[in-house]
Amino acid sequence: MGRDYFLDKDLIISKDNSIYVVYSNINTFGYIYAYLKYIYTGKGIWKGYERVLRYYGVHNLLKVNQEYIYEPCYDVSFPILRKSMIVKHLKPEEKMRKIIRKSENKLESLALEIYDYVNIKNIGITGSLLAGISHENSDIDFVIYGIKDTIDFLESFQGFDEDKDWISETIKNYDISLNLAKDLYDRRVRGMYKGIKYSFLFVNDKVEKYCNIVCKRIGEGEIIANIDDKFNSLFYPSVVTLSNVSIIKGSFAPQLLVSYEGIYSMLLYKSNRVYVKGMLMRCEDGEVKMIIGDRDVKGYIRRIL
């Protein structure tokens, strides 16, 4: 019997046949943190489904018409799906096991080839393959669970061919410089294999507790800081501890950096010192955080060392 809890990158089929993506390991009582990605229209290349979220990024996610709920811990509203609306819970690791037993098409056969090459135990497949709506040129989106397998993967896998579209698409979508986009790209986690795009996403295999400390956004900040504990940068959201903080703008020095923009995860993992522009948040326990991906201050991260 499979797990009975939700993890980041799981998929949900709702009562109206829409497809949602889970984006948090926090399991609440009446709802889950999930955003709407596909709706069924009978059109489109995904077996009658069309993408609602055409481009990634918090700024695009906020344009999606779905239910949001305000969370005092973060002083913002998050997209959710009520548990009463759930019809089916699709788990990446179960899809991977099915492909290992029997590949149904060419795309699944390519996924199996990549799986055999990387040789990682705790792995799954998300995206259109998990949803069962893939076409012959769909991306292959892998999920690796847990910090040990994630680090083993990054230390042993060099990547396949470069995804030459990714940098230009990221510049356009996030309005960042060419140099920053190049720093963000890593062939290990995004590339091409035999003409098909692949990605590797990393998910903590532990359920997270719902927060109970109220935080308030206090305005834009800019800092230069060292990154001390970077392993949790690989999961979503990316979380790293900061030290030796130099304040460029703002009244407080943050102890934590939290990025809701997944494109910065590998940059944080590979960096020792960074420049950060984002939203400062002060919590009732005195902790100060710097947020990347806030709706009012989008922010960005640039590597210094």
Question: pLDDT tens digit string along 124-151?
Answer: 999 999 999 999 999 999 999 999 999 9
Query: Tokens 């991977």 label which residue?
Result: 96
Residue-range domains of the chain with CATH? 11-90 (no CATH), 92-203 (3.30.460), 215-303 (2.40.50)
Closest by CA to 294, choosing from 217, 232, 240, is: 217
Q: Considering the entire predicted model, what is its pTM? A: 0.95
Q: What is the per-residue pLDDT across 260-269, written as a single tens digit (0 to 9) for each? A: 999 999 999 9
- Write down the mean pLDDT value for the chain: 96
- Dist CA 166 CA 85 (whole Å): 35
Q: What is the mean pLDDT of residues 276-281?
A: 98
CA 29, 33, 35, 38 torsion-angle sign: negative
pLDDT at site 55: 77
Q: What is the mean pLDDT of residues 167-192?
A: 96
- Dist CA 275 CA 254 (whole Å): 13
Confidence band (pLDDT; 50, 70, 90) for 2?
A: confident
Q: What is the per-residue pLDDT across 37-82, written as a single tens digit (0 to 9) for each? A: 999 999 989 999 999 977 778 888 878 899 999 999 999 999 999 9
pLDDT at 216 > cutoff 60: yes
pLDDT at site 63: 81
CB 96 within 8 A of CB 124: yes
pLDDT at site 56: 79
pLDDT at site 1: 57
